Amino acid sequence: MDYETQNRFITLTIDESKEMTERILENQRALETLEGMKQRREQEAITAKHQNAQRLLKPLAVVNPYATKLTFPANTLRARRDHKKYLGLIKAVAFLHQYQRAVKTLEEAPSTGSGQGGEKIEYIEVIPSDIEKANRLAANILGQTLEELSAPGRVLLTHIRGMVKEKTKECRFNRRQVRESCGWSDFQVKTHLAELVELEYLWAVSGRKGKEYVYELAQEIEEAPRLKGLKAV
């Protein structure tokens, strides 16, 4: 997605590591056994229970009495949108716990001259533990919005760094070496190597029609950013 569209969403990514693939394959094999069939039926029952629980949620308003005490880093322009996502995340946590909260009622004053009574609005309030839960989620999820690299690009960069460290003499590498080392497809490697070159995490030492593409690391890798400055109440 282009930048203006992407920053309107909370972006989640999947784990594309070899270890996760091995776990998925192992689970797929286990589901073919008798124990796996029983496990699948138990999972279906749990899923149905969660779906039924969601259907019990009422369309209550959520009020955050601690909103004015919260903080959010304002060092980027997109913070204007990310801040709303953060506040919405807090409200979502509180909304899911509505049966553990007292439901309060706001009675609006009657409209002047209309002869009609005021509307009653039912609502629940955010408590400090909701903010703590939202902060833990936001540190990772919204932290990705500070990242100029895509999640797969960051994974590939970290993998390349480890691969280069294992080399004792030569720190340059080509696409084939990257494919064989990380097990990614040619399409994945070409796509995210191009991203790393464009953002100047790698230098393309050579590579054009008829010649192999050779790269080297352009700089040390920082850790993936986390959203900092969120305040617990």
DSSP line for the chain: --HHHHTTS-------SHHHHHHHHHHHHHTTSHHHHHHHHHHHHHHHHHHHHHHT----EEE-TTGGG-----SSTTHHHHHHHHHHHHHHHHHHTGGGS--EEEEPPPPTTT-PPPPEEEEEE--HHHHHHHHHHHHHHGGGGG-SS-HHHHHHHHHHHHHHHH-SS---EEHHHHHHHH---HHHHHHHHHHHHHTTSEEEEE--TTS--EEEE-SPPPPPP--------
Residues 125 and 198 in one domain: no
Higher pLDDT: 16 or 192? It is: 192
**Residue 159 banded pLDDT, cuts 50, 70, 90:** confident
Contact yes or no for 148/141 (Cβ under 8 A):
no
Residues 23 and 39 in one domain: yes
Residue 233, in any domain of the structure: no
Higher pLDDT: 159 or 59? It is: 59
Residues 114 and 76 in one domain: yes
- Integer Cα distance of 233 and 226 in angstroms: 20
Residue 4 exposure: Cα atoms within 13 Å on the Cβ side? 0
Region 197-226 average pLDDT: 74
Q: What is the pLDDT, as a whole number, of residue 208?
A: 64
Q: What is the pLDDT, as a whole number, of residue 67?
A: 95
Residue 198, in any domain of the structure: yes
Residues 171 and 194 in one domain: yes
Residues 192 and 169 in one domain: yes
Residues 163 and 190 in one domain: yes
Domain range enclosing 174: 151-217
Higher pLDDT: 122 or 203? It is: 122
Q: Which amino acid is at 43?
A: Q
Residues 108 and 125 in one domain: yes
Residue 205, in any domain of the structure: yes
> Over pLDDT 70: what percentage of the chain?
87
Residues 142 and 64 in one domain: yes
The structural domain count of the chain equals 3
Q: What is the pTM of this model?
A: 0.70
Q: 110-125 pLDDT, tens per residue? A: 766 655 667 889 999 9
pLDDT of residue 82 exceeding 80 = yes
Which residue among 87, 122, 146 closes a domain? 146
Q: 160-201 pLDDT, tens per residue? A: 888 887 765 567 888 888 888 888 888 989 999 999 988 888
Q: 43-55 pLDDT, tens per residue? A: 999 999 999 999 9
Higher pLDDT: 225 or 143? It is: 143
Q: What is the pLDDT, as a whole number, of residue 123?
A: 96
Residues 204 and 181 in one domain: yes
Residue 210, in any domain of the structure: yes
Q: What is the pLDDT, as a whole number, of residue 169?
A: 59
Q: Identify the CATH number of the domain in which residue 212 sits.
A: 1.10.10.10
Which candidate, 131, 180, 128, 136, places its Cα nearest to that of 159?
A: 180
C-alpha distances in Å from residue 108, one per residue of 60, 62, 94, 149: 16, 16, 23, 48
Contact yes or no for 73/227 (Cβ under 8 A):
yes
Label residue 57 exposed, middle or buried (CB < 10 Å: 0-12, 13-18, 19+): exposed
